[in-house]
Amino acid sequence: MRIANNIEMLEIRKDNKYVCPTLIWDESHLVLIDTGYPNQIELLKQAIVEAGFEIEKLTDIILTHHDWDHLGCLTDLLEIVPTVKVWAHVEEIPYIEGQKTPTKLIDKLERYDRLTDNEKVECDKRKAVYDGLNVTVSGVLTDGEIIPFCGGIEAIHTPGHTPGHIVLFLKENKILIGGDAIRHIDGQLAGSDPEHTYNMALAQQSFDKVRDSINYRRSNFTSLWLLRESKGV
């Protein structure tokens, strides 16, 4: 779905899994925000082609957070475009680079022997994704930092869903990419899904922060798009 002249929301569907990575660009950068589930690389590649680009032209990948439905195709992308620069919040980097156990896996691994067979299969699949990562995050982001291309991309630290989750504000088009920190429920904004959030109190503080920011920014423009990256965790 074309949202603006330089923004495409990619709709990736497979095996009842649905994610919406976002593609943005300017004259010298082609940027992918989040990478979808594992094993979706061909679908992702096709979606980028349908948007009018080649996956080999990617210059940057920005991760809103480290959950597997957001970095699932990262390794595949790095094999195709080894020069691509990966960006993430500083608190997410240890999870993405394999120095810390992902927040959604800690509990499952601690009680692995008590999981059902289906839960073990799911846990093993997720662990394999992280065990297979070979990533260096060279674009280290902090709260309020602005990535200086595509009209300016502001990283807003919104911990709670994960420790280093970020919401991205595309300054030129006044579009907010909410990752999993913001949801639409019956036409209203809401915070992260409690079922998939490691610290709900912190997530609520982050939601309040973003909501206050939206209210402030609305004084400067008449409309604001909210793009949510995923229906997963």
Please give the full DSSP string across 180-197, using - where no structure is assigned.
TT-EEETTEEE---GGG-
- The pTM assigned to this predicted structure is 0.91
For residue 40, the SS3 value is: coil
Straight-line distance from the first to the last Cα atom of the chain, in angstroms, rounded to the nearest whole number? 22
pLDDT of residue 228: 46
Identify the CATH number of the domain defined by range 2-228: 3.60.15.10
* Whether 138 contacts 85, CB under 8 Å: yes
Crossing angle for the helix pair 103-110 and 117-131, to the nearest 10 degrees: 130
Report d(CA 218, CA 14) in Å as an integer.
36
- The two beta strands, 175-179 and 166-170, are antiparallel
Each residue's pLDDT, cut to its tens digit, for the chain (233 residues) gives: 888 889 999 988 877 778 889 999 999 999 999 999 999 999 999 999 999 999 999 999 999 999 999 999 999 999 999 999 999 999 999 999 999 999 999 999 999 999 999 999 999 999 999 998 889 999 999 999 999 999 999 999 999 999 999 999 999 988 889 899 988 777 777 888 888 898 999 999 999 988 887 765 554 433 344 554 434 44
Every domain of the chain and the residues it spans: 2-228
Q: Which are the contacts of 174, defined by CB distance < 8 A and separation ≥ 6?
A: 217, 220, 221, 223, 224, 225
Closest listed residue to residue 221, CA positions, set 168, 155, 176, 166: 176
Q: Which pLDDT score, from 0 to 100, does residue 196 have?
A: 87
Residue 18 has a pLDDT of 80
Output the CA angle 46-50-31, nearest 5 degrees: 80
Q: What is the pLDDT of residue 2?
A: 87
